[in-house]
Structure 1
């Protein structure tokens, strides 16, 4: 590709950028397109002012590097050049007209300057610029043009969207709002007439598509007053900028008495949309800004779809780095505040000093300090056994175990495990159904001093095999082992009793010695359980929780929820889901009763409601999805303490649920912080739903990218610390280093966990959950790493690219390449839990990408709406029974014989509800695979008929 040589200017006098192409680029066509652009804009060909080089940078990847002198190129010219290059390339490749309008001849600027000169003289006479500047911290005169080093700050997209909404509400542009915010900060520093240097485009009407150095820098000053509301001040700034815009063509030097220089420069740019080159994906990377720093402070703002990015630069003799960081922190504080309270007067905008701000924020980060005994869960349970041995501890259907009976069964489980050499430091996998024996198994493992690893029998065999192998569990217990322990006629004794008769337990790959010495009981520092969660790389990861963390959770929830003897807790969550932990153990350490709900009831709102009423449940927790299912089934429980968590609680659902229950508590927490970390009591008439404040002995920080506390109202990354923190991940030290960091605000040696969630702290100290910062989502309470789904999709033959996203309440898979949706479902169902199998698949020609070349997940299209049900076909009684169940669950009047369940909007919860009703009415349990292999009424009815008749 031919080049034009760059003039020998200094680095600060040129502008550079690059265009990155992915795909089959026609380099010859691009060369011709580049020539067409140069001919269209001849100013580029004058002298040695422009250079471009095309470089291969990988398989099917090229980079066009462009360097141009600022004599002929400004920031807007970048967008014009790339847009014209894309149009010309499209014309070359597709043999079509580029469709570019003809540029008017470049006219002389003198007539415009002459016409505007009288107005400019009056303007500058009325708007003198005060060159003095007051900034916090040490400052001095500007010397030279050396760069003091950039400070980059970013805001979340939510704050950017909120600011745009506020600007529209006030009646100004986002640019005006940002100028007003900077002037408000400068005013708070004592500058009575703050001034900033702003860039103005001098292109004449009809010249917006012209390349050139067509920008001028003009000083703008304002006259803020402390009692003026920010919204009104922003409108004043807007009026002032419109007046300045009318004289932008006149250089200040032409007016006679030139206004003084503005001490602060503010450059603003909106992110341009990605260019479209046929057959390739193109992204633009604007190089680092190399222009000289000629002001005491230089702020460059990029207003992009993912948020607002600002770069603060300063000469080293003008400000210190700490001073600039303080200014940036204050500016973000003002932006965050006006995003929700634009009518705050300027004097009332929050602008605390860094020390007092940090101290106040850190004080709000701490939950209540509460003394906790150095005990384990079995020890707390033993206290309740001694106090109320004959009280009912666990109920399942018509079977129950008293505290004494549950303790005896758990003791026998522990004795059998110890007889196999299992003890502290060991991990025991537990694969059992949801009966009254499950708590006995969990307690038995803990009484043996080991930690339990819950396995959901409904998970795909491939996933369960991976977890067992990855965990290196010492032993595995099943239903038969638990039944044998309960029915064992041998008297139960202390867990240190000699080993019982040989167990039918299944040894795993690491079987311990057959005749070990009896191990000691677990300590608070030993592991209590390991729960596997979804992994972003496609590999599930085990989270290790110690007894001390578990005890702190249980006693904190006891105090929060006033859990006491006689309470009846519903246990509805899978043991492999960490919401099950307080359901099993909190009642047992406070003298209550665990009411076990089997798997079929947990998936059917009507059946679950009937169980809650019949069992006289007083406390229950569920995800918002689960509560919505219950409400749809007519649930009401005025005496029930309702706990919700696992996913964000919508305000509409909170308003719907709150009148139906006695109390409503919204909880938040990741598995890595022992189930729950923060709590908020939802009042009778909620106006807002938050995740509340930290639980006892828990700390919650909202930090920026430099791990500094974010001002009240500002969004930041949520970190958790304190007694609930997990030991880390099982066998994943690299992941431990990534997610568990030293806590700069806690005691020496303490750690904090990077949740990957964003939050903001409200004025009253509560935390407002704002969503994820990565590819993890919560759907129906389950934590799902989209990366794990994507890696499984990429393993399916025919899939070239893959992505996953949540659209509404549906999990959607996106694939590039030929693959049948049925094949995709079956492949994923073989290795992923049902809740991680997408409910719909969308085939794409290519995945959308951001200007930086990354997956643009928000741009993934929504799947087609589920097809309306067609007329019902005729068939046997089983077919009609299955059809009626589908209609009830899907809430449609008719379903055809061959309509696909997932095309009708079915998903994992739908499958569970259909399966429960088939079991209840037709007496057979349909395996999960059948729903993916035969997702039609006719296909499922055939499966049901075969199960009813037997082999």
Structure 2
């Protein structure tokens, strides 16, 4: 059968904390993290993480228990994440930019008994939260009073590493449960197979609530390198990111295609830097431009449910198209038709992924887990495959090429968005009787969300009020910049939305969106 598989051998032994502790023992004074303009050595990172871990155990941290992490991007972020693992628990990233209602849902759904924060970020914790709050600055004495040695707590590789919430098609986010073993496999394969360098200096600029941040933070620490952690302000400023690259000799940078466009526009041209691109489809023109300005460019692909990245492809000098390539180590990829059979050479079908990277499933969603994580008919009994929902073509040479989505999930600036979640929030508004959300692309490949609203009879949609309604529960990247009122949702002969019949909003719809009418 036509299947792609890389090395089904046993994955690397141990945990990421084991690898980082070994680095701290071998080179304790080597710089591990640069954040807030200051350097922390491996010894300092390890000791701080150990103290946080011991305090978390006192507060109730345990195996498979999610611990909320609501911290700004600074010196305490990485010690906190590692401290959660050393306590035997899993972390739940809580982006300080998210609406409080969304954070409240994530905390309630996960049952997190503790939230790590700072005095500044504590105001983002929902008022109704009843768990323990550990502010690493205000409660610093309680942390510093702990011994700097690792707690005696065994962590099984099958335990959870983190719980990552993504957009949900039913109107509420869903939490993906990622195992320690899967994360170790991802980091080792990125270092060994996908072109990243051992001991490199990585720029870390991605929000911790976006799973690709794990590559930027853990690949360098696991291999004796260093992390250059951009602050919250720097992460939003491509010029500041370029300054960080030059100031600290960054060797590896990861970003979405949208992020790379911004960096290129600000003058990125670093022949010694290795580039990872993922999170969205990479246009061939952008791939070629990056290839001319960097040492190496690797296109990476993978859903959150299979632990960050699952496939990689080295971009040649003058690509005429961009491929997903081949699987990372201990990963299997199958292109199947609607009946579950492998497609012929050059055929198209849905991409299914299996192997070490598979998540445990969705927290508190057994039905959805069973729907998306299906039995693997080609593997050993009990193994599973994840249905990606991506339509792909099995190209020549047993590589895979992305074609489109099968459902209405989209990616914008690397963020996975279920259009159904936005639509569910829109029709809650009293001005809106019905709504449909779609994506429009510009000539250079930039994407934007467009919301088409069918007004409630007798009402005129107030766009400013609708924006405020969405902002109460949705992150900024899920709020459409463009709204357009229409008389009805056009349907095709099957009774489904006819997206081709939706009017082009053009410029006229964007002006009212900014005025509130």
Structure-2-length-normalised TM-score: 0.92
Structure-1-length-normalised TM-score: 0.50
Equivalent residues in 2 for 1:219-238 (5 A)?
A: none
Aligned to 1:824: 466
Aligned to 1:715: 348
Tell me the CA shift for residue 482 of structure 1: 3.1
Equivalent residues in 2 for 1:342-491 (5 A)?
A: 358=1, 361-362=2-3, 365-480=4-119, 481-483=135-137, 489-490=144-145
Select which of 697, 700, 712 maps to 2:330.
Answer: 697
Select which of 588, 591, 598 maps to 2:231.
Answer: 598
CA contact 1:460–1:829 (8 Å) conserved in 2: yes
Closer/same/farther in 2, CA of residues 614 and 858 from structure 1, 3 Å limit: farther
CA RMSD across the alignment: 1.9
Tell me the CA shift for residue 495 of structure 1: 2.9
Select which of 270, 278, 282 maps to 1:649.
Answer: 282
| CA–CA separation in structure 2 for the residues paired with 1:569 and 1:419 | 34
Aligned to 2:449: 811
| CA–CA separation in structure 1 for the residues paired with 2:175 and 2:63 | 18
Structure exhibiting the larger radius of gyration computed from Cα positions: 1
| CA–CA separation in structure 1 for the residues paired with 2:75 and 2:9 | 33
Tell me the CA shift for residue 684 of structure 1: 1.4
Tell me the CA shift for residue 860 of structure 1: 2.1
| CA–CA separation in structure 1 for the residues paired with 2:116 and 2:486 | 45
| CA–CA separation in structure 1 for the residues paired with 2:240 and 2:148 | 39
Closer/same/farther in 2, CA of residues 833 and 422 from structure 1, 3 Å limit: same
Deviation digits for residues 46-98 of structure 1, max 9, x if unmatched? xxxxxxxxxxxxxxxxxxxxxxxxxxxxxxxxxxxxxxxxxxxxxxxxxxxxx
| CA–CA separation in structure 2 for the residues paired with 1:445 and 1:859 | 50
Closer/same/farther in 2, CA of residues 521 and 867 from structure 1, 3 Å limit: same
| CA–CA separation in structure 2 for the residues paired with 1:428 and 1:411 | 15
Aligned to 1:865: 507
Aligned to 1:535: 168
Deviation digits for residues 744-766 of structure 1, max 9, x if unmatched? 11111100000111101111111
3-state SS of 1:585 partner: helix
Tell me the CA shift for residue 491 of structure 1: 6.4
Closer/same/farther in 2, CA of residues 573 and 735 from structure 1, 3 Å limit: same
CA contact 1:565–1:591 (8 Å) conserved in 2: yes
Tell me the CA shift for residue 614 of structure 1: 1.6
Tell me the CA shift for residue 819 of structure 1: 1.3
Structure 1: gaps of 5 or more residues = 1-357, 498-519, 869-898, 904-933, 937-951
| CA–CA separation in structure 1 for the residues paired with 2:51 and 2:117 | 14
Tell me the CA shift for residue 422 of structure 1: 1.3
| CA–CA separation in structure 2 for the residues paired with 1:866 and 1:781 | 28
3-state SS of 2:421 partner: helix
- Larger RCO (CA under 8 A, 6+ residues apart): 2
Tell me the CA shift for residue 483 of structure 1: 3.7
Aligned to 1:492: 147
Q: Say if 2:478 is the partner of 1:845.
A: no
Deviation digits for residues 598-630 of structure 1, max 9, x if unmatched? 222222222222222222110010000000000
Tell me the CA shift for residue 857 of structure 1: 2.5
Closer/same/farther in 2, CA of residues 589 and 398 from structure 1, 3 Å limit: same
3-state SS of 2:403 partner: strand
| CA–CA separation in structure 1 for the residues paired with 2:48 and 2:501 | 55
Select which of 612, 634, 642 maps to 2:245.
Answer: 612
| CA–CA separation in structure 1 for the residues paired with 2:194 and 2:324 | 16
| CA–CA separation in structure 1 for the residues paired with 2:346 and 2:198 | 41
- How many residue pairs get matched? 492
Tell me the CA shift for residue 377 of structure 1: 1.5
Equivalent residues in 2 for 1:764-843 (5 A)?
A: 764-808=397-441, 809-817=447-455, 818-843=460-485
CA contact 2:484–2:509 (8 Å) conserved in 1: no
3-state SS of 2:136 partner: helix
Equivalent residues in 2 for 1:107-146 (5 A)?
A: none
| CA–CA separation in structure 2 for the residues paired with 1:733 and 1:610 | 46
| CA–CA separation in structure 2 for the residues paired with 1:482 and 1:442 | 12
CA contact 1:623–1:645 (8 Å) conserved in 2: yes
